C-alpha cells in the first residue's frame, strides 16, 4: 500500500476544486479573450459567480458535456473563468449514501489528493523545508509500519510519490493505515503499484 492521505472535501470543496476543475474546453467553437484582471476568491465569504451571458461559448457543446459527465460517474463539476464560477453542477449520491451530492458533501479525492500532495511537497523542497530523499520516519516517527526500524527507515518521501514504498497493498481494508496493516512486500523503489497494475522485478 502506498500511503497518500485521502482528502475528504467539505466546506472548502469549491476552493480545492479550483485546482482540478479549471478545465480547458477544446470543444467550444470560440473563447472569450483573457481578462486583464483575474479575481481570486476570498478566504471568507462567497465566491463570485459569472453569468453564462458574459462569455461567448458554444452552448450546444456545453449541453452535450453536461449530459455526458454523469454517465462517467462524475459527482461534481466546476468551471472557473477569470477566477469566477461560471458553472457548478452536482450529480448522484453522497459518499455516505445519505442524500444528493452538493457543494458541502464529503468525497474521497484519491488521485487528485496525490497530485496536490506532490505539488505541495515539491514547493516545500524548493523552499528547502524538506527533501524527497528524507525518510518517512522523519515525519511519521518510528513505528508507523510493522517493519523493523531499519527497514522502515529505507522508505522515503519519493517512494510515496512514485507509488514504490514496497508496502504490501493486498490487505483486506485499504483504508486501514494502522501499523499492523502496513507490512513489507518488496524493497522500496523496486515495485510500482498503480491501482490494479503492479510492476515488480521477476
Q: Give residue-wise pLDDT tens across range 11-33.
A: 334 433 433 343 333 333 334 44
Q: Is residue 86 domain-shared with residue 134, that is, in the same domain? A: no
Query: Band of the pLDDT at 197, cuts 50, 70, 90?
Result: low
Query: Band of the pLDDT at 167, cuts 50, 70, 90?
Result: very high
Q: Would you say residue 202 lies in a domain?
A: no
Evaluate whether 174 touches 190 at the Cβ level (below 8 Å): no
Q: How many domains does the chain have?
A: 2
DSSP assignment string, 39-82: ----SSSPPPB--GGGS---HHHHHHHHHHGGGGT--EEEEEET
Q: Would you say residue 69 lies in a domain?
A: yes
User: In the beta sheet, which residues pair with residue 135?
Assistant: 156
Q: Would you say residue 86 lies in a domain?
A: yes
Q: Would you say residue 78 lies in a domain?
A: yes
User: In the beta sheet, which residues pair with residue 79?
Assistant: 87
Q: Is residue 134 domain-shared with residue 86, that is, in the same domain? A: no
- Residues ≥6 apart with Cβ < 8 Å to 19: 112, 116
Q: Would you say residue 23 lies in a domain?
A: yes
More confident: 8 or 182: 182
pLDDT of residue 147: 96
Query: Residues 169-179: what's their mean pLDDT?
Result: 83
Q: Last residue of a domain, which of 58, 90, 122?
A: 90
Q: Would you say residue 101 lies in a domain?
A: no
72 has a pLDDT exceeding 50: yes
Query: Band of the pLDDT at 174, cuts 50, 70, 90?
Result: confident
Domain of residue 53 covers 13-90
Query: Residues 103-125: what's their mean pLDDT?
Result: 87
Query: Band of the pLDDT at 112, cuts 50, 70, 90?
Result: confident
146 has a pLDDT exceeding 80: yes
103 has a pLDDT exceeding 70: yes
Q: Would you say residue 96 lies in a domain?
A: no
DSSP for residue 195:
T
Q: Last residue of a domain, which of 31, 63, 90?
A: 90
Q: Would you say residue 109 lies in a domain?
A: no
Which backbone phi and psi does 68 adopt, to 5 degrees? -80, -40
pTM for the predicted model, two decimal places: 0.56
Q: Is residue 86 domain-shared with residue 135, that is, in the same domain? A: no
Evaluate whether 182 touches 167 at the Cβ level (below 8 Å): yes
Q: Is residue 26 domain-shared with residue 83, that is, in the same domain? A: yes
DSSP assignment string, 101-165: --TT---B-THHHHHHHHHHHHHHHHTTS--TTSBTHHHH-TTSSSS-HHHHHT-BHHHHHTT--
- Residues ≥6 apart with Cβ < 8 Å to 88: 14, 77, 78, 79, 103
pLDDT of residue 14: 41
Query: Band of the pLDDT at 10, cuts 50, 70, 90?
Result: very low
Q: Torsion angle of alpha carbons 26, 29, 35, 39, nearest 10°?
A: -60
Query: Residues 32-46: what's their mean pLDDT?
Result: 73
Q: Last residue of a domain, which of 59, 90, 121?
A: 90
pLDDT of residue 48: 94
Evaluate whether 139 touches 166 at the Cβ level (below 8 Å): no
Amino acid at each position: 500500500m502506498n500511503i497518500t492521505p485521502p482528502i475528504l472535501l467539505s466546506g472548502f470543496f469549491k476552493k480545492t476544486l479550483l485546482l482540478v476543475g479549471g478545465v480547458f474546453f477544446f470543444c467550444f467553437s470560440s473563447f472569450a479573450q483573457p481578462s486583464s484582471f483575474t479575481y481570486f476568491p476570498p478566504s471568507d465569504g462567497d465566491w463570485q459567480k459569472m453569468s453564462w451571458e458574459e462569455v461567448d461559448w458554444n452552448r450546444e457543446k456545453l449541453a452535450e458535456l453536461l449530459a455526458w459527465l454523469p454517465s462517467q460517474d462524475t459527482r461534481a463539476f466546476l468551471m472557473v473563468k477569470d477566477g469566477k464560477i461560471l458553472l457548478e453542477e452536482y450529480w448522484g449520491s453522497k459518499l455516505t449514501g445519505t442524500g444528493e451530492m452538493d457543494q458541502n458533501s464529503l468525497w474521497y479525492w484519491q488521485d487528485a489528493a496525490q497530485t496536490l500532495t506532490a505539488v505541495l511537497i515539491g514547493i516545500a523542497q524548493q523552499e528547502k523545508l524538506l527533501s524527497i530523499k528524507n525518510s518517512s520516519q522523519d515525519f511519521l516517527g518510528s513505528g508507523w509500519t510493522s517493519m523493523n526500524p531499519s527497514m522502515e527507515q529505507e522508505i522515503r518521501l519519493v517512494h510515496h510519490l512514485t507509488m514504490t514504498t514496497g508496502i504490501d497493498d493486498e490487505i483486506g481494508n485499504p483504508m486501514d493505515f494502522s501499523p499492523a496493516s502496513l507490512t513489507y512486500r518488496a524493497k522500496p523503489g523496486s515495485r510500482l503499484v498503480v491501482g490494479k497494475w503492479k510492476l515488480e522485478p521477476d
